[in-house]
Structure 1
Amino acid sequence: MPDVDSGSGALLSPVDAGSAELVMQLQDLLADNADVQEFLAELSRVASVELSLPDNPISCGVTVLRRKKPLTVANSDERSRILDEVQNSYGDGPCLTALRVGAIISVPDVKTETRWPDYMRSTEACDVKSILSVPMDVRNSGKAVLNFYSSRIQGFSDESILAAQSVAEEAARALHLALKIAQLNELTDNLSAALETRTTIATAVGIIMAENRCSREKAFQILVDASSHRNTKMHTLAEGVIGRVAGDHDKAPDFDE
C-alpha cells in the first residue's frame, strides 16, 4: 500500500512512472494549451477519467500555489469546483494540508473524519463521501496538488491510490514545464512593457527638447518634476505629451516647463 497521511504527515514514497498512454496525453495537453489555466483544466479532466470506474465516477480538481501568490484552481466538473472553492474559503482541508506537508491525504469517510469538521459538512452537501489529495512535485515552480472526490465511502482503494500517485508524478513533470513556460512568457511580457515605456518616455523627452530648445538632461528633468508635482507616473505624462503633439486632446493635459 502507498504511504498515505491519515493524520501523521508521512512523506510520499516513490512510485513507478505511469503508462505510456498517460504520458502521451499529458504531452499533447502541454502542446495544445500554452495557457497554464487551460492546461490545468484539461489536466483535471484527464486525471478524473484515469481514476473513474463505471460504478465510481471521480471528480478532480487541481490546485496550484506559485511564489506564494493566490491559489490557481481548475476542475473537471462543477462538484469539484465548488468543493475546492469552499475549502479555500475555510483556509484548511485535505487539499491545503497536502500542499503544506507534501503528503497524500486520504479521507475514507467524511462522516467519521474529525479533521476540518466545517469542511466535512460541506462535502456531504455535495454528495461526496471520500476524498483523496495527492501533492505533485513541481520542484521550484511552486506547489500543486490533485484533489479527487468520490460519492462512495472508501471510494479510493489501495490500487486507485497508487494510480492517483502515478498520475500525479507524470502530471508534475508536465506541469513543471508548463509553469516554466508561463514564467518565460511573463518575463517576455514584462520586458516588452518596459521597452515600450522607455520608448514612450524617450519620445516625450525629444518633444520637450524641441519645444523648449533645451538639452536632453533638462527635458528629462522637466518630465521628472512634472511627474512629482502632479503625482502622475512619468509614462502617463509622456503619453500626454505625445498625444498633444499628435492632436489627441483626450490624452493631452497642459504641460508647461
Structure 2
Amino acid sequence: MRSEWTKFDVAELQGLLLESSDLKSFLFRLTQVAAQELARNGTAYCSVTVLRERRWATVGFSEEVAASLDDLQYSTGEGPCMTALKTGRVVDVPDLVHDDRWPAYRRPALEAGIRAVLAVPIVLELGAQAALNCYAEEAGAFDNEDKASVEAFADLTASSVRLAVRLETEMERSSDLKAALESRTAINLASGVIMAQSGCTQEQAVEILRRASSSRNVKLRDVASQILARFNEIDPATHFD
C-alpha cells in the first residue's frame, strides 16, 4: 500500500482542534484523515487510544471496527496498541497469522478479518499516554513509506493531542468542582431548614442529614435536595450559574 500522505501542518491541526467541540470530536476527525490516506490502495481503519489514570479508552476512530479491535485489547489485556503504549515504541505487525505475541488477541482479530496492525505512540504529558492505531485487512498492508508517514503524522499531531487532552482534563476538573460546590450549597441550605424547624445546631442538622443518607442508601446531596424541594428550592444554584 502506497500512501500520498496529506501534508498537514501545525496551523491546520490547530484549526481542526479549534473547530472541534471536545477531545473526542477532534480525534474522530484526526483518525478520519489518517484512515483516508492509508486506505488509498486498500481498506484501513484507524483509532486513537488514550491512557489516563490507569484507564484505557478509545477516544477517536474512523470506523466502529477500529474501536472494537481496541476494546478487544483492553478486555484481553494484550495487543499491539497496549504494547506500543507500555514500551513507547512503534509496533509493526505485517501479518497476524505469523505473529503469536498476543494469543488472546490474535485469534478474534483474525476472525474480524484483520491481518496487519501498526501502532505508533503519541508522546503526551506526564500522566497520560496515547497511540495512533492502524488496522488493515491485507497482510503486509503497511510498507516502509506508510510506516514513516504514520510516525511523522503522529509526531506532528502530538502537540495538538496534548493540548486537546489538557483542555479535556481541565473541563473535567471544572465540572467536578462545580458539582462539589453545588452539593455543598444544597447541604448547607438543607441544614438551615432543619435548624429552623428543630432549633438544633448546624452540626446536629448535618448529622441528621448523614443518618438519613445512610439509612436510605442515598447520596447526602440527594437527601438535601429532597428536603429543599419541599420548600420550592429545587436544585439550588451556585455562583457558577
Could you tell me the TM-score, scaled by structure 2's length?
0.83
The CA distance in 2 between the partners of 1:141 and 1:100, in whole Å, is 13
Aligned to 1:204: 190
Which one of 28, 31, 38 corresponds to residue 44 of structure 1?
Answer: 31
Q: Distance in 1 between matches of 2:233 and 2:6?
A: 63
CA offset digits 1:118-160 (Å, max 9, x no partner): 4333333333332111011112251111111223332222221
Please point out which of 66, 69, 92 is paired with 1:83: 69
Number of corresponding residues: 231
Q: 1:133 to 1:205 in 2, by over 3 A?
A: same
Equivalent in the alignment of 2:238: none
Per-residue CA deviation, residues 70-125 of structure 1 (Å, 9 max, x unaligned), is 42343212332332233333221111111111100111122222322443333333
Q: Secondary structure at the match of 1:40?
A: helix
Distance in 2 of aligned mates of 1:45 and 1:240: 47
Q: Are the structure 2 counterparts of residues 22 and 120 from structure 1 closer, same or farther at C-alpha, using a change threshold of 3 Å?
A: farther
User: What does residue 6 of structure 1 align with?
Assistant: none
C-alpha distance in 2 between matches for 1:85 and 1:223: 42
Aligned pair 1:29/2:6, yes or no?
Answer: no
Q: Which piece of structure 1 moves more, 69-78 or 136-145? A: 69-78
Q: How does 1:126-165 map to 2 (within 5 A)?
A: 126-165=112-151
For residue 118 of structure 2, give the secondary structure of its aligned residue in structure 1: strand
> How far did residue 181 of structure 1 move?
0.6
For 2:101, give the aligned amino acid. R
Q: In the superposition, relative to structure 1, how do residues 22 and 141 fare at CA in structure 2: closer, same or farther (>3 Å)?
A: farther
Residue 243 of structure 1 pairs with residue 229 of structure 2: yes
Asked if the contact 2:58/2:70 (under 8 Å) is kept, the reply is no
**Which stretches in structure 1 are left out of the alignment for 5+ residues?**
1-17, 249-257
User: Percent identity, aligned pairs only?
Assistant: 36
Which amino acid is 2:8 matched to?
E
Determine the C-alpha separation between the residues in 1 that align with 2:87 and 2:214.
48
Q: What amino acid maps onto 1:175 in structure 2?
A: V
Q: 1:188 is matched by which residue type in structure 2?
A: S
In the TM superposition, what is the alpha-carbon distance from 1:39 to its structure 2 partner?
A: 2.0
Q: 1:72 to 1:246 in 2, by over 3 A?
A: same
Q: Residues 141 and 180 of structure 1 are in contact (CA less than 8 Å); yes or no, is this contact kept in structure 2?
A: no
Q: Distance in 1 between matches of 2:24 and 2:83?
A: 22
CA RMSD of aligned residues (A): 2.7
Q: Which is higher, the Rg of structure 1 or of structure 2?
A: 1
Equivalent in the alignment of 1:9: none
Stretch of structure 1 that moved more, 56-65 or 115-124: 115-124
2:166 corresponds to 1:180: yes
SS for the counterpart of 2:8 is: helix
5+ residue gaps, structure 2, are 235-241
Q: Distance in 2 between matches of 1:46 and 1:116?
A: 28
Offset of residue 239 of structure 1: 1.6
| TM-score, normalization by structure 1 | 0.78
Distance across 2 between alignment mates of 1:247 and 1:185: 27
Q: CA 1:170 to 1:135, structure 2 compared with 1: closer, same or farther past 3 Å?
A: same
**SS in structure 1 of the partner of residue 126 of structure 2:** helix
